[in-house]
Amino acid sequence: MTNIENKVAIVTGAGSGIGRETSIQLAEKGVRVAVVDLSVEGGNETVSLIKEAGFEAFFIQADVGSREDVKHYVEKTVDTYGTIDMFFNNAGIEGAVSPLAEYPEDIFEKVIDINLKGAFYGMKYVLQVMLENGGGSIVNTASNAGLVGSPGVSPYAATKHGVIGLTKTATGEYASQGIRVNAIAPGPTATGMMDRFTQGSEEAKKAVESGIPAGRYGTAKEVASLVVFLLGDEANIINGAVYPIDGGLTSL
């Protein structure tokens, strides 16, 4: 197995769900992790879990929709660990559930700021470090909503389509300079986001699961395992790819 010990990773949205699980799995492999989240409580809890297991991480609070906050988490990581080898560009929100013609404009703008602008800012400033250092690996979190239409969540779907566009474009621009950029497209996953989508309703959850060929939600651990693989050197030939991890949902 390829040794990634002592490499440095930034994980955004690391205070819960897929971001937390990915941070933990990276740390278990000896990666030093910059845990980024808006939630101080969630981010510090992720760091505590990593440190209690004997591994290394530190927390940076950031609103990824803020250009200055993104520049800060990139600069703080370099100041602390000296470099950035891996970047899991994961933070995002679901927004409201509403038909497009009725969608609240203020929530639309917030979803765009966090999911699309946040992904762009993260790539922009991390890429600058990776270019100076001669390479690196980025995984962006898109969604199955970035692959197909998703009635009721038009801004979310638009941003996740946009993340895929950023992923493929960055690959064309930077692959020759030793940088890999891939994306994951999770389907329904057992995280707080899906609980909010279904409003905690077991009936609604079962209705969602009934449309998934695998018959169940994915888990944060399953998604994180894919991310860790894509970030690592064993995936060196993989670039510009988008990986659905949705129990077969987008195969239908």
* Active site (catalytic) residues: 156
Three-state DSSP state, 180: strand
Rounded CA-CA distance 67/65 in Å is 6
Rounded CA-CA distance 244/186 in Å is 6
Three-state DSSP state, 100: helix
Rounded CA-CA distance 223/22 in Å is 8
Place of tokens 């409201």: 96
| Range list of H helices, the chain | 17-28, 40-52, 67-81, 105-111, 118-133, 154-174, 192-197, 202-210, 220-231
Q: Show the tokens assigned to 19.
A: 């971001």
Q: Show the tokens assigned to 207.
A: 């209705």
Rounded CA-CA distance 145/173 in Å is 25
Rounded CA-CA distance 65/141 in Å is 15
Residue 41 contacts residue 17 (beta carbons within 8 Å): no
Rounded CA-CA distance 76/53 in Å is 23
